Structure 1
């Protein structure tokens, strides 16, 4: 997608006044508004317990939405039936901190599992078509590890395993990618390379990527926009270029500190790069 096309695009994800509560307890998310546009990579920041993972889970119906509206890729998440939820989840690629690969299986087979929703209940070793295998190899080449296709996943380094996980997510032909702390277990150099890859995918494929991070410099270096949660409320939302570490500091302030002034760091609530 060209820059002009991205700027004219409608959001693929919208959340309005989103509230999430578990078992009748207090709100874990309270009044969150979010837009994700095709082709952008957005950092999700906040301290432990701020609601980052819950927000990601709510976008695929894994968290109990108690109020507000959420739409993802044309699906009204708040009103989906079980079969419709399966369809939605097949359209969302997920990348996790712990990679979630099958260690004893080959790299190629791990990538092929991303196509299970289209291939049906088939044998992992023999059921995939030649077209599936061709695409999986192409994706491994894209993420730079095609030469590892036959190796067991457990033999790869952490950075290589995360690239396999990204290729697996792309195998789904996703409309959205959710990356929950994808570089938390990687050293700085590998973290940079993985985030560069995700941003390249977002731009080239027109897929919005929402990435949860805990290192501010990585968010400032690799994302188009930053949104930040504190105590389940979104208190930061703006273009990365318009934010700095000082403005983002309230996201990590002690609970005893006042929230006064945190709203001033929202210069472009719906801005896109």
Structure 2
């Protein structure tokens, strides 16, 4: 959870980063690094800086330190320049649970500073009230250095790993070996189904409730909200940009863009030619902005 002070601090950090990422540095960072703060979530998008792992680790750990220290400051560690009100705010912030999510973790594979941080988190997550999720395509991305992280993880989720287009069993074998899966879990992992834009079966391993298969059913709105297909993201963001040019605020523009595209293309628009002007006319005629 974030409050107004969190967002002000984040805005200051964002401005410093933007100043840094200009000129020659902009080419280095690909000009797309940004830091977004919403009411309940911080989102750090590193763009193609992932290709420079030494820089990625530095930026990511700096941002993480901002959130992490809010969670784990002890009385004797408070900076001397903080007043009483600031100390009280810091202690209040500590009580809120913290979740770190590392998406596309293969970009951090073999990155010692990041893996050291994950190892520390895994050892202290219950003590400090922290949780860490890693999203990656191969368990070997974390298995060698992140053994404590894997063993301490109370929740593990696996989507489909094999298909007619990818019949290899290597990834299944790696998961089974590292986690010590039995024949039943391995068979479940092999049998998982996935239909783009409609549903996906997920093998869930939970230390409290056991194991089972979850079915994640996509609605049209959730598809357009979370699509990773570059053409759909471009379409959604182009419509939102056109609305912002009309004076619509960013949050409203993104919400309307997602809603109208979900109505027009409930199963997605991959492979289709889309007339942006037709989408904008529908927004006007059907009252999406009212």
Determine if the TM-score, normalized by the shorter chain, exceeds 0.5: no
TM-score by length of 2: 0.29
**Which entry has the higher C-alpha Rg, 1 or 2?**
2
TM-score by length of 1: 0.30
- Greater helix content: 2
